[in-house]
């Protein structure tokens, strides 16, 4: 069967996803697929391509099929154990890097809700600083550890399986904490894209009844783990959630500014911490 035949017969998958799946199976660049539409595939290869395209037509995210997702110009391994890194999350990384560039003395950084490690590992790679990646899921941390090796930063990263700060010593304080925690309200769950709610880990998305339950617990403990002069960067989704978390941070004594994503949405809250008083 030729590549063109497969692409013509497959229904329910857009052309770009077809090209991506073919490139993945054939281990070639996307351009090579398009330049060789008359290439014949052996029966085994054609069957594998068809099986993966069927999975895509049924809603399985492309990143889980190819096991790769680009983030901040790096390729990350992903599977169903972790949330797929979003382009909007690059706004959080950019904010962290801007601060670290201005304050090079910040050395100790915590990535809370690390998942695939996309945030913390990019910070480690770009700055050479030491990162502690925390996640409630040991399975997610296994993926993050693999990515740390792939990116060449394994020696700069420690991994801790913990429900927020539960496994962190009170005497351990950080210069910066970055957090991409669940913020989808249970009432919003049904409105999510089919690909997301059917395949991505719910624990990485579900923020409880009002979408702010995890952040509420996080902010409550936050002051005990930040050094004087330290800061926290929180990714949030939408103006409503931003206002909820912003008020939590202010009530805890933080000065808060907002960083918007490329679409103009409130995406990251940056809280500056001066003291516990």
271, 254 contact by CB (below 8 A): yes
* Alpha-carbon distances of 106 from 97, 98, 100, 264, 265, rounded to whole Å: 11, 12, 7, 29, 28
**C-alpha to C-alpha distance for 45 and 36, rounded to whole angstroms:** 15
Strands (E) in the chain, as ranges, are 68-71, 74-77, 108-112, 130-135, 157-161, 174-179, 226-235, 255-260, 266-272
**Where does residue 114 rank: exposed (0-12), middle (13-18), buried (19+ CB within 10 A)?**
buried
Of 252, 254, 232, 236, residue with least CA distance to 244 = 236
N residues, the chain: 277
Helix (H) or strand (E) holding 87: none
Domain 79-272 has CATH 3.40.50.720: no
Residue 274: predicted pLDDT: 63
Collapsing DSSP states into helix, strand and coil, what is residue 214? helix
Q: Identify the pLDDT of residue 277.
A: 37
At residue 258, what are phi and psi to the nearest 5 degrees?
A: -110, 140
Instruction: Specify the pLDDT at position 241.
Output: 82
| CATH H superfamily, domain 3-58 | Ubiquitin-associated (UBA) domain (1.10.8.10)
The reply to whether 3-58 and 79-272 are identical in fold is no
Q: How much is the pLDDT for 161?
A: 96
Alpha carbon distance 265, 258 (integer Å): 10
> Taking a C-beta distance cutoff of 8 angstroms, is the pair 192, 201 a contact?
no
CA–CA gap between residue 83 and residue 184 (Å, rounded): 13
Contact 176, 146 (CB under 8 A): no
String of DSSP letters for 20-56: HHHHHHHTS-HHHHHHTTT-B--HHHHHHHHHHHHHH
Which residues of the chain, if any, have pLDDT below 70? 170-171, 238-239, 274-277
Domain boundaries, the chain: 3-58, 79-272
Cα–Cα distances in angstroms (integers) from residue 55 to residues 19, 34, 64, 135, in the given order = 15, 22, 10, 29
Q: Exposed (0-12), middle (13-18) or buried (19+): which is 230, by Cβ within 10 Å?
A: buried
CA distances, 245 to each of 188, 218, 233, 242 (Å):
17, 10, 11, 5
Residue 262 three-state SS: coil
Distance CA 29, CA 27 (A): 7
User: Which two three-digit tokens encode residue 265?
Assistant: 């949405």
């Amino acid at each position: 069967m030729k590549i063109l035949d497969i692409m013509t017969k497959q229904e329910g998958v857009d052309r770009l996803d077809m090209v991506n799946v073919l490139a993945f199976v054939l281990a070639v660049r996307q351009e090579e697929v398009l330049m060789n539409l008359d290439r014949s595939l052996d029966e085994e290869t054609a069957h594998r391509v068809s099986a993966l395209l069927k999975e895509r037509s049924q809603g399985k995210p492309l990143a889980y099929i190819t096991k790769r997702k680009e983030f901040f110009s790096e390729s990350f391994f992903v599977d169903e154990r972790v949330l797929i890194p979003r382009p909007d999350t690059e706004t959080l990384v950019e904010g962290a890097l801007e601060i670290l560039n201005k304050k090079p003395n910040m050395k100790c950084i915590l990535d809370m809700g690390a998942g695939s490690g996309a945030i913390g590992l990019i910070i480690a790679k770009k700055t050479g600083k030491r990162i502690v990646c925390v996640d409630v899921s040991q399975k997610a941390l296994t993926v993050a550890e693999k990515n740390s090796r792939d990116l060449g930063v394994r020696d700069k990263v420690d991994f801790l399986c913990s429900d927020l700060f539960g496994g962190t010593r009170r005497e351990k304080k950080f210069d910066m904490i970055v957090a991409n925690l669940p913020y989808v309200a249970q009432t919003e769950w049904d409105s999510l894209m089919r690909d997301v709610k059917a395949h991505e880990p719910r624990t990485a998305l579900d923020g409880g009844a009002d979408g702010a339950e995890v952040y509420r617990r996080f902010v409550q403990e936050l002051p005990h783990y930040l050094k004087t002069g330290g800061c926290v960067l929180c990714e949030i989704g939408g103006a409503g959630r931003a206002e909820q978390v912003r008020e939590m941070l202010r009530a805890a004594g933080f000065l808060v500014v907002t960083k918007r994503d490329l679409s103009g949405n409130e995406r990251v809250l940056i809280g500056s911490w001066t003291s516990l008083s």
